[in-house]
Chain A
């Protein structure tokens, strides 16, 4: 009975794994197909061709620039967000100040507002600042809409025993010392979670970069990839080849932080 149960669970897991791998595998195979073959039923290309990759790089001189732009924007966004999330989460969880609960509620409420609603007010603010079509406008917009990190860190810290911090205070550690020497090292798992989720959100962001950026030289990869998607005709094989550049960095980041990621999600909000 127990073996049948295990077998059943393994089957379900394998099916789930296949279902998640299939779209990626399909995209990968399509990127090696000739355009006329793009919609044929078989996933495996009839004749393997590297022409799509060649074509992407040849016809789109800006392509590598887009990859680098995406990378720079993602790294800055993640770095800023990590710092803000840890500091914000620490103050909300540990520092008693007037209006803390209200602020936390506002933070929670802001997470429930769809980003689309914020486009026009955010964009108007940026255009008054003269930040349209600059990364000055792009990055804060991305950071501001990813307030989940602060919430995650606050919840994580609430689950940590306060005694450690009390002991540190008795030993004469200042608030900043506490943050850098105690809180930052202790929040490893949740910081990894924030890193992965914000990296993916920034790396894949489409609508906000599209709205803020006007010059093709500044585009990020997801925006640039859309040049292969025409009004009437979409060049799917090229999109798939280009998408591979979009997928691989996320896979790398995920592989690097995976262990912490799972730990972070599993322990957030736990009380001892």
Chain B
């Protein structure tokens, strides 16, 4: 035992020294050292970011950037770094977190001065994306790419049922009708018209807006329990009630996109993140994408987007801006394959090359930012609970939404 503990001591010292000598940060030959951080969204994105940063470094004489992807728990880590003033010089900020970050006045650096003096202009980008990262007339983030929901449909299911494919002119009732028909026309394996995402409000809120419901009234109070909101929730639950819609978990799928890939559901509302997943896991599946159906009050969709931002604590704001300019340049955006580019011209070229993504791009014109105020995350969770309660039949749409609205008002008063 003595030998064991002594050996431990010696081993600890030796390995500790060896590790320490290897991992001290190398000095970067007098250049301005920048750190760029973001969550590791998918392997394609992580690889592309690495290449872009390498190319940026090769193009710069005075700046050397390092890419530090965070695999999971991105915001806890980011907040810890911000709190101890060691935040990266440039980092990803998801649209859901923009308002919470803006509410704390001292986190983000406004970028208007840079935009005014450099060749990158706010008007180069899709307006709703720049708008999503603006507050009181100031721009705080340059969107890197975006997504909206599309209606993914299984061509074979439609062919077999003798139905024409979804068109951009469909309304919600036609959609429900077709979902029911696709459910009746089952082959040997059971198939359903639609796969719901029961645990979040992500897909319900656009439907609510299609019925004319708003999450917040002009005075800032939660208005989701309005008659239009209740009607929308009744509609959403009716998809389930008629047996046309399944929960992914009921058929052994992890999420709606998976149920779609395994042909258990003929239609889903998903963003273009579904496409690489289908290509990898279900390469033989034939599918199309159309815009989400309209509702009685018109169209709606969510804008999912992420921007590059600079913290106020950044030591080299000009160099950080140069990095952002490079990462959002047209030549960098041409290399995006996993989402839609945020530049107007590049995304137009992107959809002419990949026409199946046109509905995702078209929706950007009217989609609303995926953001719910300074307490966005908690509001989103609470609303998701209401959707669950209704879909599981625990509460009526009226009761679930009224309770959620009251709870959201309490959350926002904190």
Interface, chain A (partner B; CB < 8 A): 35-36, 38-41, 59, 72, 75-76, 78-80, 82-83, 86, 119-120, 123-124, 127, 132-136, 139, 180-181, 184-185, 187-188, 191, 206-207, 210-211, 214-216, 218-219, 223-227, 229-234, 236
Residues from chain B with a CB closer than 8 A to the CB of A139 are: 16
In the complex, whether B114 has a CB less than 8 A from a CB of chain A is no
Interface, chain B (partner A; CB < 8 A): 1-2, 4-6, 8-9, 11-12, 15-16, 19-20, 23-25, 35, 37, 39-43, 46, 66, 68-73, 76-77, 80-81, 83-86, 252-254, 257-258, 261-262, 271, 273-274, 276-277, 280-282
Residue of A nearest to B11 (CB): A79
* B5 and A211 within 8 A (CB): no
14 contacts between A and B (CB under 8 A): A36-B282, A82-B8, A123-B80, A123-B81, A123-B84, A124-B83, A127-B85, A133-B23, A134-B24, A135-B23, A191-B4, A210-B77, A230-B40, A236-B254
* B19 and A230 within 8 A (CB): no
Residue of B nearest to A226 (CB): B71
Q: In the complex the two chains form, what is the Cα distance from A271 to B62 in whole Å?
A: 68
The 8 Å CB contact of A127, one of B2, B84, B257, is: B84
Residues from chain B with a CB closer than 8 A to the CB of A181 are: 2
* B42 and A127 within 8 A (CB): no
Closest chain A CB from B315 CB (angstroms): 14
In the complex where A72-B19, A184-B2, A184-B5 touch, is A229 in contact with B86 (Cβ < 8 A)? no
* B5 and A86 within 8 A (CB): yes
* B276 and A210 within 8 A (CB): no
Q: In the complex the two chains form, what is the Cα distance from A188 to B5 in whole Å?
A: 10
Residue of A nearest to B6 (CB): A180
In the complex where A227-B46, A230-B41 touch, is A188 in contact with B1 (Cβ < 8 A)? yes
* A229 and B72 within 8 A (CB): yes
Residues from chain B with a CB closer than 8 A to the CB of A135 are: 16, 19-20, 23
* A207 and B1 within 8 A (CB): no
Residues from chain B with a CB closer than 8 A to the CB of A36 are: 261-262, 281-282
Q: In the complex the two chains form, what is the Cα distance from A173 to B70 in whole Å?
A: 53
* A207 and B76 within 8 A (CB): yes
Closest chain A CB from B405 CB (angstroms): 29
Closest chain B CB from A126 CB (angstroms): 8
